[in-house]
Amino acid sequence: MAESIVHDTHSSAKGGHAGAPQKSFFGLLKRPGEGCHPVIDWLTTVDHKKIAIMYGAAALFFLVLGGVEALIIRWQLAGPEREMISARFYNQLFTMHGTTMIFLAVMPLGAAFFNYIMPLQIGARDVAFPRLNAFSLWVFLLGGVLLNLSWFFPGGAPPVGWFAYAPLTSSTYSPGIGTDFWVLSLQVLGISSLAAAFNFIATIINMRAPGLSMMRLPVFTWMTLITSFLIILAFPAITIALVQLMFDRNFGTFFFEAGEGGRPILWQHLFWIFGHPEVYILILPAMGIISEVLPVFARKPLFGYPIIVFSGAVIGVLGFAVWSHHMFTTGLGVIALSAFALLTMLIAIPTGVKIFNWIGTLWGGRIRFDTPMLFAIGFISMFMIGGFTGIMHASVPVDTQQHDTYFVVAHFHYVLIGGSIMALLAGIYYWFPKVSGKQLSERWGKISFWLVLAGFNLAFFPMHFLGMTGMPRRTHTYRADMGWTEWNVWSTVGAFILGLGMAIFVGQIIYTAWKGRRCKADPWDSRTLEWATTSPPQAYNFPRTPIVKTRDQVWADKYDSEEIHLEWGPEEEHGIHMPDRSWYPLFAGIGLFIFALGWVLFKEPVPFIPGFANFLHLQVVGFSLLMLSIYLWALEGPGGYHLHPDKSKDPYA
């Protein structure tokens, strides 16, 4: 660090910082300062950029893990009546594949972008609550660890599906500990998502740079905001459902026990009241990324900006009104079936509007086919196919034939791989220079794009045929005379090509992060505020507060008249105020992890400690650590120190 750092730390005896209690508590743990050991720096960081990088790295790891699980699944299905793996193992694999991809790969990849890009796009120094942000990261990471720990316990991972329909999850039908791991890790991950969402909402509503009105916000930031609202409103439903399930399993309550007045169908309602908004939690960030990438590579502003923003919000609202379309075969009755079918069709309109506007953005542009753009165009076309099959599902009579078949598997993989993953890849190729100051190779990027596109279509398009000719989902094998063999072989071949494409992509990321060459600060000739600083940005993001004059501010600076150019606020005479690092988010996360593990191991023998059955021991330990960390967190206060930026390092300012 070349900056001159002024350590006039407020948190110690010198005193005087707003809101911060002054005593360094017990002096047990000193807050690490500038120049601490890199490991300690990363463990205690509150910098949104470092947190984002850890989110991204962990998510990529889980993406690879979930991908390997998928390949084993495809390997088993490559022929009829194969016994490569047992039925139980297969069921565990598809459960873990789904849960991992949704909660540990796609959502955290989205969170990585929210964390890295959103504060830069609004010209902020960090998120509203930097330590809470670190807490979200650690809780997510430990939640992922908790879920995957299940593999190492007797009985192994949960074999109940990511949807975990009651009463299959009851202690009668799923006595194994795997289901408890699933329940508790989802609770833990929910806490992480909720904490992150509160943080992002406060950040976007409150911490925009002067002049950056809501209707000047980049669309990605808008989608971050909408997604955060979806999270805070949707996650409670599944959290409560999981609590109810946990009570049923551990305390003998009757929430989903049909014989005792409970109703298994309640689980489905609660799960999908969460589950359908969750679909939009996965796709809205992707739509935001695409809305950033297309204008840059078409060299035109987004077509119909207000309508894209508005349709995103409409999708978010309607997302809460269509959950029962996942339950068309459960016997809802004519009225409910018709209502939910029509509402579901309505969602096609704002979604279609987005696609029209993206094409409108391209129209009249000058389109460059760099890797991010290839993935973005791939996104539009693949997501469109997924959208069309979605319209088919909205039609109840059609859905009764397609529900729970490979047709649905094809549909949501078109939306989630062709949609979310393609867009996230576009985003990674687009923002990698921002994050690392290095550019990914175009040649390998394009190779990986074509492999992903071809492999993906070969893997998933035949599944439409499989579904329509009657192959149910979640079956570990099929009779040889069903006529499904050929398409399954194609699908498996495609899956491995897709895997190869993803492997090249991951390898490229690792190689470039390690050895890549430095590139310009704004290599794509971009448009939005995150490019108005160095790549990678300094710890403080912007040396002075940017004063925004227009949407697409950075583009205006390059190509528009002087009066709407970016201005910079006054230099802060005390230097830039930076939040202090803290140990407590990590410790609180560990406390929560132990607490959750305690509930998993409720009444179970604890491994490595013979003869020790856990009743509330682990819970007490974990909860105490959690509470202690929260108190010390509160007492240490936000702290902070002042930093004087080195102006020579910022070409833009």
CB of 612: closest distance to other proteins in angstroms?
Answer: 26
State the minimum distance, in angstroms, from the CB of residue 449 to other proteins.
10
Distance CA 223, CA 287 (A): 8
Q: Residue 260 or 567: which CB sits closer to other proteins?
A: 260
Number of other residues whose CB lies within 10 A of the CB of residue 86 = 11
Annotated catalytic residue within 17, 125, 131, 354: 354
Question: Which residue among the candidates 162, 406, 414, 583 is catalytic per the annotation?
Answer: 162
Sign of CA dihedral 80, 82, 85, 89: positive
- Characterise 474 by phi-psi region: left (phi > 0), alpha (psi -120 to 50), beta (else): left
Give catalytic status of residue 430 as yes or no.
Answer: no
d(CA 569, CA 548): 10
Asked if 86 and 117 count as a contact pair (C-beta separation under 8 A), the reply is no
Does 291 qualify as catalytic in the annotation?
yes
Q: How far is the CB of 135 from other proteins (least distance, A)?
A: 13
**How many Cα atoms sit within 13 Å of 468 on the Cβ side?**
10
Q: Which CB, 560 or 604, lies closer to other proteins? A: 560
Task: Provide the minimum distance between the beta carbon of 64 and other proteins in the complex, in angstroms, as a whole number.
Answer: 26
Q: Min. distance of Cβ 160 from other proteins in angstroms?
A: 8
Q: Are 91 and 159 in contact (CB under 8 A)?
A: yes
Of these residues, 10, 48, 97, 464, which one is catalytic? 97
Query: Is position 311 annotated as part of the catalytic site?
Result: no
CB of 145 or CB of 367, closer to other proteins: 367
CB of 23 to other proteins, least distance (A): 8
Least Å distance between CB 182 and other proteins? 14
* Nearest of 363, 489, 423 to residue 76 by alpha carbon: 489
Nearer to other proteins, 172 or 624 (CB): 172
Residue from 17, 131, 216, 325 carrying the catalytic annotation: 325
Question: Catalytic annotation on 165?
Answer: no
Active site residue 325: yes
Least gap, CB of 285 to other proteins (angstroms): 18
Which of the residues 24, 150, 174, 192 is marked catalytic?
192
Distance of alpha carbon 130 from alpha carbon 336, whole angstroms: 45
C-beta closer to other proteins: residue 48 or 63: 48
Amino acid identity, position 383:
F
Is residue 473 part of the annotated active site? The answer reads yes
Active-site residue flag, 276: yes
Q: Tell me the chain's radius of gyration from C-alpha atoms.
A: 25
Question: Is 228 part of the annotated catalytic residue set?
Answer: no
Q: Please choose, from the candidates 140, 148, 135, 141, the residue with its C-alpha nearest in 3D space to the C-alpha of residue 93.
A: 148
Set 47, 180, 278, 530: catalytic member:
278
Residue tagged active-site, from 17, 31, 276, 413: 276
* 280 has catalytic annotation: yes
Alpha-carbon 471 to chain mean position: 31
354 in active site: yes
The smaller minimum CB distance to other proteins, of residues 43 and 463, is found at 463
State which residue, 42 or 89, has the beta carbon closest to other proteins. Answer: 89
Task: Determine contact, residues 338/252, Cβ cutoff 8 Å.
Answer: no
**Which residue pairs, CB below 8 angstroms and at least 24 apart, start in 396-403?**
396/328, 396/337, 396/338, 396/341, 399/325, 399/328, 399/329, 400/328, 400/329, 401/468, 402/467, 402/468, 403/328, 403/329
Answer whether 651's CB lies under 8 Å from 534's CB. Answer: yes
Q: Which two tokens stand for residue 414?
A: 């078109």
CB 308 within 8 A of CB 220: no
Instruction: Exactly one of 203, 291, 545, 582 is catalytic; name it.
Output: 291
The position carrying tokens 């990027």 is: 445
Q: How far is the CB of 316 from other proteins (least distance, A)?
A: 14
Kindly name the residue from 55, 182, 280, 487 that is annotated as catalytic: 280
Pairing of strands 604-605, 613-614: antiparallel
Q: Which is nearer to other proteins, 40 or 616 (CB)?
A: 616
Closer residue to other proteins, CB minimum distance, 59 or 588: 588
DSSP codes joined into one string, 53-97: HHHHHHHHHHHHHHHHHHHHHHHHHTSTT--SS-HHHHHHHHHHH
Give me the least distance between CB of 161 and other proteins, in Å please. Answer: 5
C-beta of 150 vs 436, nearer to other proteins: 150
Residue 147 is encoded by which pair of tokens? 């879920």
Residue 582 annotated among the catalytic residues of the structure = no
Give the pair of three-digit tokens for residue 370: 């760099």
Question: Is residue 414 flagged as an active site residue?
Answer: no
**Residues 478, 506 contacting (CB under 8 angstroms):** no
Catalytic residue among 10, 131, 216, 326: 326
Buried b (16+ CB within 10 A) or exposed e, 151-181: eebebbbbbbbbbbebbbbbeeebebbbbbb
Q: Which residues are designated catalytic?
A: 97, 126, 162, 192-193, 276, 278, 280, 291, 325-326, 351, 354, 473
